[in-house]
Amino acid sequence: LFKALVLCLPLIWGFNLDTTHTLHKLGDPGTFFGFSLALHQQRNPDPQSWILVGAPRAAGQGKLTGSRPGALFRCPITPEEYDCERVDIDGDVRWDRESKHNQWLGVTVKSQGIGGKVVTCAHLYELRQRVNQSSETRDPIGRCYVLSEDLTNRDDLDGGEWKFCEGRPQGHEQFGFCQQGLSVSFTPDKNFILFGAPGTYNWKGEMRVQLLNQTLLDLGIYDDGPYEVADEKQLNAQLIPVPYHSYLGFSVDSAMGIMSLGELTFVAGAPRANHTGAVVLLKKDNVYRLVPQHIFWGEELASSFGYSVATTDLNSDGWTDLIVGAPNFFDRKAEIGGAVYVYLNPFGHWDDQARPIRLNGTYDSMFGMTVSNVGDLDQDGYGDIAVGAPFDGDGKVFIYRGSKSGIETKPAQVLDGRDFDVRRFGYSISGGLDIDNNHYPDVAVGSLNDSVVLFRSRPVIHVKRDITIDPPQIDLEQSNCKDRDGVCLILHFPSVQENIRDKLRPISLVITHTIKPVPPRRHSAKRLEKLPPILNVSPSNTLHSEVNFLREGCGNDKICQSNLKLSYQFGTRPLNSDLFIPLPKDEDDVQVFSLSDQRLVVLDITVTNMPSDPLYPEEDGDDAHAAQLIISLPNTLSYAGSRIPEQMRCQANQNGSQVECDLGNPVKRNSKVRQNCVFIVKLNKRSKNIFKKLYSHLFFSGAVRGESAMSSLDDIGSAVDFEFVVANPGQALQTLGSAFLNIMWPYELANEKWLLYPASLTFQGHPETQCSPTSALNPLKLQGSSPAELGSHGVGGASHCRL
């Protein structure tokens, strides 16, 4: 009896997007509803969660009826598919100086998170001058709208005045084609908003970072920026570290802990820089400039490296890691189409050229078109990412788990648009927010198919198993269970003390845990069903352990080295006596068993376990565990029983030809197993005949006379004498068995004429010998001169004599 202590700590781990209780939201066909999306939560005036969905090709309303300005929708978290409402922004238009037709409002949408602000942009918003004149100009500067948490304009920061290229020199080489808002982001400290404007400066591109903090503004702190790569005051395109047509600002992000801990770093993708693409790390200087810190270059021409960027701490080392999408990466041979580069942060020393890990998509899949920090989906402490591949079949989203070593390159989960009846699935991804209050962040995925899908995360139960065997080894002389904290599993092994033979190999323990499945419930139309938890996929839900026996008597090395020796002798034992009489030995010193009156053969066996050198008992002076004695008996002998010491146990097979005996477990050192180890053996009754067959030849001649002419034995002819000698060179047989002599002779011819006539049998030494049938001898009762002779005159007969 011993106990195993199992501590079960439900931790939070694994991976876990539920695909059976997904929420679907649909928009009008052709509106690109789902081109962008963001999970959002407002706290005021009422707590509510939303999926914000951009539909950049949505038709206009009111004044904009007849045009396609695009729109932002908010979708409540309900099972209903068509309950998204248009967010009421941007309804006005001044025809004399702007155009909102095809402005792509909703091309991007971002949320600061719970209770935070929201931004959505229209990167093709046009400023117009001299409308309807021949000298009319159109400048797609782009524009963004900032909204308060409830998606209304509540403070000075809200509204659509976020268009920094307005009022600046126009023309494509300056700010006429800024396309502000093709990317947009909030800093994690919520103080700044980032705008990508990839068309600025002849498509060099630009990123602008601007204060977005009403409290700071209320305090009169205005002088923190704005910042631009070309310097917000100087507007010096030379300061931008990539060539023209690089599209810097196509993607933007920011994070602490990229260049150094505690410092905010900005990330801007430039997917056409030097034709390979690049990603630039920047930081604010003290005035108005974003200063480049490091540039990552793409590895392949036209791979669009930097099309998408994301930041998260994948390996939880406190340093933010960088994820870069290159959706046009191409390797026809390897059938790769699209790649994602994962740069684990080398403690801010990016110049050391830490080699990225490349995740590959399938051919033509545009894998990496979106990369997204989706938070710690499984709550294991490592950030997780999602990668969209909208042209992989009907579109797929791959979930990759961060891990201690960086990232698990095999996706933890693949969401396939086909399973949700969505095409071009994975065009946009938003995560990091817990929509259903189960403490696990959820993920929404958009498409180019006017639909979005919300995937909720199931709680992940990580069972931390820790088997403590107490005592750590089984000591056969101890059994106790002390009080302890935690769950104490007492495993009873009633056989431990008695019947376990093998005390050398440990007892294996296997502990398996599962979650009892929850019966499916009806989907409520009003409330989201609570998702059942799942078990973490790793480590396995089966734990193996083993309990060792305390190997007493095996020395310090715990290796049992014994010195078993066996000796034996045969003997006999008088009936009803324990007297052991060794069998006599022949000249070859072999014990001789004669077929005399000893019916019991006794085998006396002595087994010793003594160290070969008593001075060095550690060499081979240990206990012998599970020692066995196997006795194989010849055919003439069979096992009848034994008188053995108590610790021994013997068992014979069915015909008694083999006996297996346990010598005791263990045979202790310095011990001798002997005392009256008696095997009673019986002689088999059907012993092999020891007599030889003898052959001789007999010829006869003379006149043939009839039977009626015989009046005495002498008339028959010459007498033939046969002498049989039956000898037993060993001991006399008693009642062990009988010896028989069968005599056969030529008796008669085919015409029934006599050949050899059996006259008589005489015996010497055993006068009581009888033969049968008696009628076979001298059947004509003829008188002869010598009755002691066996005269055989006949054709053949048989006689059977018991000797």
Q: Is 413 in the site for Ca ion (CB under 5 A)?
A: no
- Candidate segments 380-388, 598-606, 615-623, 787-795, binder of Ca ion by CB under 5 A: 380-388
Which residue of 313, 392, 620, 623 would you call a contact of Ca ion, by CB under 5 A? 313
Shorter beta-carbon distance to Ca ion: residue 292 or 406: 406
Residue 2, classed as helix, strand or coil, is strand
Which of 112, 170, 315, 413 touches Ca ion (CB under 5 A)?
Answer: 315
**Cβ proximity of 77 and 51 under 8 Å:** yes
Binding segment for Ca ion (CB under 5 A), chosen from 99-107, 176-184, 287-295, 435-443, is 435-443
Q: How far apart are CA 539 and CA 157, in angstroms?
A: 49
Closest CA to 605 of 660, 676, 668, 683: 676
Q: Is 384 in the site for Ca ion (CB under 5 A)?
A: yes
CB of 405 to Ca ion, least distance (A): 11
Residue 533 near Ca ion by CB under 5 A: no
**Bridge partner residues of 223 (DSSP):** none
3 state SS of 618: helix
Query: Is the preceding peptide bond at 69 cis, omega within 30 degrees of 0?
Result: no
> Per-residue contact track with Ca ion, 343 to 362, x per CB under 5 A?
--x-----------------
- Minimum distance of Ca ion from residue 143's CB (angstroms): 33
CB of 345 to Ca ion, least distance (A): 5
| Residue nearer to Ca ion on the CB measure, 460 or 663 | 460
Q: Rank residues 381 and 717 by Cβ distance to Ca ion and give the closer one.
A: 381
Regarding 623 and contact with Ca ion (CB under 5 A), the answer is no
Window of 23-31, 319-327, 389-397, 741-749 that interacts with Ca ion by CB under 5 A? 319-327
Point out which span in 205-213, 342-350, 581-589, 625-633 binds Ca ion (CB under 5 A).
Answer: 342-350
State how far the Cα of 611 lies from the Cα of 555, in Å rounded to an integer.
13
Regarding 206 and contact with Ca ion (CB under 5 A), the answer is no
CB of 457 to Ca ion, least distance (A): 5
Q: Strands 396-403 and 384-389, how do they pair?
A: antiparallel
Q: Which CB sits closer to Ca ion, 193 or 324?
A: 324
* Minimum distance, C-beta of residue 380 to Ca ion, in the bound complex (Å): 4
Question: Is residue 13 involved in binding Ca ion (CB under 5 A)?
Answer: no
Residue among 19 and 561 whose Cβ is closer to Ca ion: 19
Least Cα distance to 641 among 588, 607, 682 occurs for 682
- Residue 317 in contact with Ca ion, rule: CB under 5 A: yes
Considering the complex, what minimum distance in angstroms separates the CB of residue 75 from Ca ion?
A: 16
Q: Which stretch binds Ca ion (CB under 5 A): 275-283, 374-382, 520-528, 712-720?
A: 374-382
Contacts with Ca ion by CB under 5 A: the residue count is 17
Q: What 3-state class would DSSP assign to 128?
A: strand
Distance of closest approach, residue 163 Cβ to Ca ion, in angstroms: 36
Query: Counting contacts by CB under 5 A, is residue 98 touching Ca ion?
Result: no
Q: Which of 442, 455, 373 is nearest to 416 (CA)?
A: 455
**319 scored as a contact of Ca ion (CB under 5 A):** yes
Assess contact for 571 and 581: CB atoms under 8 A. yes
By CB under 5 A, which span of 313-321, 583-591, 648-656, 702-710 interacts with Ca ion? 313-321
Q: Confirm or reject binding of residue 18 to Ca ion (CB under 5 A).
A: no
Q: Does 321 bind Ca ion (CB under 5 A)?
A: yes
Nearest residue (CB) to Ca ion, 107 versus 323:
323
Q: Are strands 542-549 and 2-6 parallel, antiparallel or unpaired?
A: unpaired
- Nearest Cα neighbor of 732 from 762, 763, 766 is 766
The 3-state secondary structure of 259-323 reads: CCCCCEEEEEEECCHHHCEEEEEEEECCCCEEEEEEEEECCCCCCCECCEEEEECCCCCCCCEEE
Q: Is 436 in the site for Ca ion (CB under 5 A)?
A: yes
* Interatomic CA distance for residues 366 and 362, integer angstroms: 8
> Closer CB to Ca ion, residue 254 or residue 303?
254
Q: Which of 201, 440, 455, 745 binds Ca ion (CB under 5 A)?
A: 440
Under the criterion CB under 5 A, does residue 438 sit at the interface with Ca ion?
Answer: yes
CB of 412 to Ca ion, least distance (A): 8
CB of 260 to Ca ion, least distance (A): 13
Distance between CA 199 and CA 197 in Å, rounded? 6
Q: How far is the CB of 435 from Ca ion (least distance, A)?
A: 6
Residue 255 or 474 with smaller CB distance to Ca ion:
255
421: left (phi over 0), alpha (psi -120 to 50) or beta: left
Peptide bond between residue 471 and the one before it cis (omega within 30 degrees of 0): yes
- For residue 560, give both structure tokens: 């049992």
Which of the residues 457 through 476 are near Ca ion (CB under 5 A)? 457
CB-facing half-sphere around the CA of 674: CA atoms within 13 A: 15
Q: Is 382 in the site for Ca ion (CB under 5 A)?
A: yes
Query: Which residue lies nearer to Ca ion by CB, 43 or 649?
Result: 43
Residue whose entry in the numeric block shows the structure tokens 């080699």: 355
Under rule CB under 5 A, residue 90 binds Ca ion: no
Give every strand in the sheet of 357-362, ordered side by side.
308-312, 321-331, 336-343, 357-362
- The answer to whether residue 536 forms part of the interface with Ca ion (CB under 5 A) is no
Residue 699: Cβ within 10 Å count: 4
Burial of 187 from C-beta contacts in 10 A (0-12 / 13-18 / 19+): buried
Partner residues linked to 568 by β-bridges: 605
Q: Least distance from C-beta 402 to Ca ion, angstroms?
A: 5
Residue 120's CB is within 10 A of a number of other CB atoms, namely 32
CA dihedral 507, 508, 514, 516 (to 10 degrees): -40
Asked if 452 contacts 444 with a C-beta cutoff of 8 angstroms, the reply is: yes
Positions in the binding site for Ca ion (CB under 5 A): 313, 315, 317, 319, 321, 345, 376, 378, 380, 382, 384, 434, 436, 438, 440, 442, 457
